[in-house]
């Protein structure tokens, strides 16, 4: 891997390249997309990925305090809890060995018997972010296996959700999508950074873009570009 912007360097230190700007609250979105902007192949993001993308994916998780994802992404991608890695020991010094997963869901249509809930360690108990309109019986069932945050009335209020995570000391939030959740975060003005892996392929079809939802304009500055095997790993910071 090499850095090609803002300077050039071979084999850059990946954790340093993606280090958060101090302890200030920060919400980072990480996505992979084809050159024509699609975010999945046959419904899954893995068809767009590479060894370098997976390496950066792991580093970003290790740096984060919490990993946020929408319920559809959790179901489709088969999420489980984040597992500790030896390479994370230095990154997570003074913090739990792995970050918890926070699932955003309006209807609580989740498989509560999946590994995401049954295999999570106590220090990284899965978090469910929902709203007051969610079925009460499902909310009670979820509370037996996860920490439940109620943010909003008829739908999840992402500003309240992010505030609730930060009240728990989870200041560095990594969002892994999907596109609809990304779009809602952008519309709420909550995104500080976009980490975008650009896969050197064209896929066409009906795959969603990085953001789906209402139109939004958010100015970004290109902070960094890494390259490996034709993949570009771009880091954009909100202006």
Q: How confident is the prediction along the chain (239 residues), in pLDDT tens digits per residue?
A: 999 999 999 999 999 999 999 889 999 999 999 999 999 999 899 999 999 999 999 999 999 999 999 999 999 999 999 999 999 999 999 999 999 999 999 999 999 999 999 999 999 999 999 999 999 999 999 999 999 999 999 999 999 999 999 999 999 999 999 999 999 999 999 999 999 999 999 999 999 999 999 999 999 999 999 999 999 999 999 99
Burial class (CB in 10 A: 0-12, 13-18, 19+), 236: buried
- SS3 state at 59: helix
Listed in sequence order, the residues at least 6 apart from 62 whose beta carbon sits closer than 8 Å to its beta carbon are: 15, 85, 87, 88, 91, 92
The reported pTM is 0.97
DSSP bridge pairs for 229? none
> CA torsion, points 44, 85, 121, 92, in degrees to nearest 10?
-110
């Amino acid at each position: 891997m090499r850095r090609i912007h803002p300077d050039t360097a071979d084999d850059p230190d990946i954790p340093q390249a993606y280090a958060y700007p101090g302890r200030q609250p920060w919400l980072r979105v990480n996505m992979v997309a084809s050159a024509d902007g699609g975010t999945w192949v046959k419904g899954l993001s893995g068809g767009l990925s590479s060894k370098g993308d997976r390496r950066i994916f792991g580093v970003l998780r290790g740096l984060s305090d919490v990993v946020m994802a929408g319920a559809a992404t959790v179901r489709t991608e088969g999420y489980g809890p984040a597992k500790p890695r030896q390479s994370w020991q230095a990154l997570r010094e003074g913090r739990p060995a792995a970050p918890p997963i926070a699932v955003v869901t309006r209807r609580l249509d989740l498989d509560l018997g999946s590994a995401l809930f049954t295999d999570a360690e106590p220090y990284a108990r899965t978090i469910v972010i929902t709203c007051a309109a969610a079925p009460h019986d499902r909310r009670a069932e979820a509370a037996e296996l996860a920490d439940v945050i109620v943010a909003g009335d008829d739908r999840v209020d992402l500003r309240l959700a992010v505030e609730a995570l930060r009240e728990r000391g989870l200041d560095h939030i990594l969002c892994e999508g999907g596109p609809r959740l990304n779009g809602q975060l952008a519309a709420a003005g909550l995104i500080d950074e976009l980490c975008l892996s650009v896969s050197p392929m064209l896929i066409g079809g009906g795959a969603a873009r990085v953001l789906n939802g209402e139109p939004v304009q958010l100015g970004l500055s290109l902070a960094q570009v890494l390259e490996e095997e034709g993949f570009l790993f771009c880091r954009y910071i909100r202006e």
